Amino acid sequence: MQQLNIILQSSPELLITLVTIVGLLVGSFLNVVIYRLPVMMDRGWKKECKEYLELELEDTDNNREPFNLMVPLSRCPGCNSAIKPYQNIPVISYLFLKGKCAECKTHISLRYPLIEAFTGICSAIVAHHFGYTIEMLFALFLTWSLITLSFIDIDKQLLPDSITLPMLWLGMLLSIFSVYTEPSSSIIGAIAGYLSLWTVYQLFKLATGKEGMGYGDFKLLSLFGAWLGWQYLPLIILLSSLVGAVIGITMIILTKKDHNIPIPFGPYLAAAGWLALLWGDQINALYLNATGL
């Protein structure tokens, strides 16, 4: 193990290659989480509501086959044939099968290899930036969590607490060891991150009678405050707002989407927080130089 550590420390190319491969494999698993976790949450909510209202559970509620992140095994939605391990190699299997099921030739969404490739690329960037350090290890976990949260928010407009809250507590735990920031900065950041968006939400609701964002967004910004400290919150809010405004206006113009239809804010927060994690100091310095402050 010690020899492996020495090799990875002395060979950035090997480190990036290994992390990229791991990222591709993780990306394949993230596809499962992105699809299954909202289904699991929906089933759990419905069952809890029926139990709370003392409604009789249907046979389908009690006799359903186990459905979680591990079972059932992945199957083709067209012919229900099991996907064999060699047909589930990230990106490569999709290219080899030409984007179709091996049995029934049902089209496989391009989204799956894109998420795998995107996760691999983001993982490689993290490895290149931090090198073989403890910061790299935890930054990878945060990156993978943000990718999962972003795509779930795009699909369902949900930011699951089962991902956000453990990562928030992890950020505060890491601050004890000064991995990314100090404990006081982390605690203040977590509180300020939540309250800043919560305040905007309340003011917007008071002024318009509408909800401008969800509570998951508050928790996500609180997460970044816990990981990076309160000092990075203005940067994250500014970046996410700018990107969100540009993309939102572009979507309305190009797709003629109704401006009253809510657009998930989580992916923009996630992207801004990830950029701050890697290049926050450089972006802040660039802004200060540009404004002459």
Whether residues 106 and 159 share a domain: the answer is: no
Does this model's pTM top 0.85? My answer is: yes
Specify the number of domains making up the chain.
Answer: 2
Instruction: Please report which confidence band the pLDDT of residue 261 belongs to, taking 50, 70 and 90 as the band edges.
Output: low
Whether residues 81 and 57 share a domain: the answer is: yes
Q: CA-to-CA distance for 184 and 172, rounded, in angstroms?
A: 9
Inform me whether the pLDDT recorded for 46 exceeds 80: yes
Whether residues 260 and 157 share a domain: the answer is: yes
- The reported pLDDT for the residue numbered 188 is 97
Whether residues 143 and 256 share a domain: the answer is: yes
Whether residues 158 and 138 share a domain: the answer is: yes
Name the domain boundary from 116, 132, 148. 132
Instruction: Please report which confidence band the pLDDT of residue 93 belongs to, taking 50, 70 and 90 as the band edges.
Output: confident
Name the domain boundary from 107, 132, 157. 132
Whether residues 163 and 37 share a domain: the answer is: no
Whether residues 223 and 275 share a domain: the answer is: yes
Give the three-class secondary structure for 11: coil
Q: What is the domain range of residue 65?
A: 1-132
Name the domain boundary from 132, 154, 182. 132
CB 123 within 8 A of CB 23: yes
Lowest-confidence segment of 105-114, 116-125, 211-220, 250-259 by average pLDDT: 250-259
Whether residues 78 and 173 share a domain: the answer is: no
Whether residues 225 and 93 share a domain: the answer is: no
Mean pLDDT of all residues in 10-31: 94
Give me the DSSP letters along 157-216. S---HHHHHHHHHHHHHHHHTTSSS-HHHHHHHHHHHHHHHHHHHHHHHHHHSS--S-HH
